[in-house]
Structure 1
């Protein structure tokens, strides 16, 4: 087989997902490609980026409309052309997840926990906030208490305000504890997070993308456009898993945790294809002023450092 045939398999797998979540893929595109280049892009450019995945123009328009209604994107009309950028609220929602995607990882946990008490919220709002916190990787300590090992109280303030829960939620930061990996704490981890399910999702990710990595080393016949499709699918699938990952300290994870291998694979693939994919982006993305600018300095800090 070849790298191109492995990419075709990945695209086919994406197309068979039901429902096809084009809006989620578009958010991935904004986070990985558009935001580092100024954040604003012509709708036609977005259509060109998703076409290799089999997403037609009608679905793009519908998905972008929904993202505007959900305050992810904002529109600007210039003549007959529409240009879209991430809203401030949208940027806050996905910033942490994308920062985790491109980090090389660390284990700087000091033993403390961020606790969020929701017992003073009305039941409907409590359920909404619980779901939002789960998407940020919080686990259940009890039906009304959520916990996270790395989140900081100051990071929660704007989010609780956005959700309308700031006045009635209680946020606490515990002091470091010793020992950090006690038997009781490990039991609590298993009750608060479904690590078996998360580990299975990482295993599936490895099964999908390892064949592409092997062929990149044996028979790399990807064009710049192919590299972009592979890059977007890679980051999209990896990001979906990270949305549920609390990034527990290594001392609280199983010894054979698949998340470490998934991170390394994602980094290796990205480093192998991003430069060629950027060749395609430089020729095919535009805003009202013309071609999108080159990526900012922050882009080249991804995965510990990319070559400009």
Structure 2
């Protein structure tokens, strides 16, 4: 199950803490899982964040148990915690598989959610979790998604709140219903389309040849793309509006990531090597 904090950072503006999460997932997780603190500060500096902003982001991430700090003299070695490794792997699986074609058998997962009126904060939290999981709302506590495989994930999310009463069904739409009208009621696809168009316009223009530029572009690319699994309900292609831009955006993401990844990773390793030399000098 994807953690609420991971979702919030994915959907947030590119603040230092949010971009730090992208750096951890893209560069730190695939290697040993630990780096010098100075490496992360330098990586954020490449993205135009001050040293103070970078250190504040690291401090808060440590308090939130994303990172663990080991003091080595006057310096600090930072490593992913067990829980952050798990969450980042789950996030990576969802981010990098999102946008691939998939087959649908015509069945919908329907969730009926009831929360007492006096527990409005709980109701808001659960509604957010359902929306983040790609479900659309038909009003009256009725939610649906064509991804019936998410039932277990949703059950875990809802079961955390003992005051919530939830029921789930798997069903097909009968001849009385118009699928496209149903989708228009449940999701604001125009808003999702606008996000895809913005992504395409931004990254189709980007060019990079140096390792530093590749690092900057790739980090911002992945950061922008990891919003879409939480914004786009990933509906079957035949239920989407004409000229839906997801495939074009996905192809652009794959192409640019392949172009920039090697040099971006090499740049991050150069930062780490520089930090290592600094530790020896210290």
| Equivalent of 1:114 in 106, 109, 121 | 109
- Aligned partner of 2:39 in structure 1 is 45
Which structure carries more relative contact order (alpha carbon 8 Å, separation 6+)?
A: 1
Q: Is the 8 A contact 2:109 2:171 kept in 1?
A: no
Aligned residue for 2:243, secondary structure, equals coil
| Equivalent of 2:164 in 159, 162, 168 | 168
- Aligned partner of 1:152 in structure 2 is 150
* CA distance, structure 2, for counterparts of residue 171 and residue 66 of structure 1: 37
Q: Is the 8 A contact 1:28 1:232 kept in 2?
A: yes
Change in Cα spacing, 1:118 to 1:87, as seen in structure 2 (3 Å) is farther
**Structure 1, residues 246-274: CA drift from partner, whole Å, max 9, x if none?**
11111111120111110000101111111
* Aligned pairs (5 A) from 1:258-297: 258-285=245-272
Q: CA deviation at 1:171?
A: 4.7
- Aligned partner of 1:11 in structure 2 is none
Q: Is the 8 A contact 1:231 1:270 kept in 2?
A: yes
Q: Which moved more, 1:25-34 or 1:168-177?
A: 168-177
**1:193 counterpart = 2:187:** yes
Aligned residue for 2:226, secondary structure, equals helix
* Aligned pairs (5 A) from 1:68-147: 68-71=62-65, 73-79=66-72, 80-86=75-81, 88=83, 91-92=86-87, 95-103=89-97, 105-120=100-115, 122-147=119-144
Which segments of 5 or more consecutive residues in structure 1 lack a partner in the other structure? Answer: 1-17, 291-308
Change in Cα spacing, 1:225 to 1:135, as seen in structure 2 (3 Å) is same
* CA distance, structure 1, for counterparts of residue 30 and residue 71 of structure 2: 22
**Structure 1, residues 271-306: CA drift from partner, whole Å, max 9, x if none?**
1111122222333337x999xxxxxxxxxxxxxxxx
Q: CA deviation at 1:107?
A: 1.8
Q: Is the 8 A contact 1:136 1:243 kept in 2?
A: yes
* Aligned pairs (5 A) from 1:177-216: 177=173, 184-212=178-206, 215=207
* CA distance, structure 2, for counterparts of residue 64 and residue 171 of structure 1: 41
Q: CA deviation at 1:33?
A: 1.8
- Aligned partner of 2:18 in structure 1 is 24
- Aligned partner of 1:299 in structure 2 is none
Structure 1 length normalisation: TM-score? 0.73
Q: CA deviation at 1:142?
A: 1.8
Change in Cα spacing, 1:167 to 1:125, as seen in structure 2 (3 Å) is closer
| Equivalent of 2:239 in 227, 236, 252 | 252
Q: CA deviation at 1:62?
A: 1.8
Change in Cα spacing, 1:42 to 1:132, as seen in structure 2 (3 Å) is farther
Q: Is the 8 A contact 1:198 1:245 kept in 2?
A: yes
* CA distance, structure 1, for counterparts of residue 162 and residue 84 of structure 2: 16
Which segments of 5 or more consecutive residues in structure 2 lack a partner in the other structure? Answer: 1-11, 278-282
